Amino acid sequence: MRITKVSIMRLIILGCIIPFVLSTIVYYGFSTNYTKGVFTKQGFEQLYGNGIYKYRVLGSSMLLKTYDLVEKFNLPILPHNEGDWKFYSAYFYLNTFFPLSHLHNIIYRSRRINK
């Protein structure tokens, strides 16, 4: 299968722009009633530090590292009415990156199969 400008544009639109826009709409257009107090570092560590949530080690450590990166590099943040804006943006970055990377993996594998 040849790589053309159309296939590259389709990959960029379907693999990057549309998922990023949809994630932005979901994260900044709606609010949650289920997890009200976890959008600050203190609230997150309090909830995920004990009880059943303390076993979610990978996700919580990755979110805290993402929050450190947002603070360290002053990544763009959007205001939101839920807690700390930087911490909420760390949620957004982390939960947008993994679906995008998964989608790219699916597209890459399907292209290899169709060769």
Q: Which of 60, 61, 67 is nearest to 86 (CA)?
A: 67
Confidence of residue 114 (pLDDT cuts 50, 70, 90): low
The angle formed by the CA atoms of residues 91, 42 and 46, to the nearest 5 degrees, is: 100
Amino acid at residue number 72: K
Range of the domain at 83: 5-113
User: For 46-96, how does the pLDDT look when each residue is reduced to its tens digit (9 = 90+)?
Assistant: 989 988 888 999 999 999 999 999 999 999 988 888 789 999 999 999 999
Calpha distance 112→96 (Å, rounded) = 25
The total domain count for the chain is 1
Q: What is the largest CA-CA distance in the chain?
A: 53
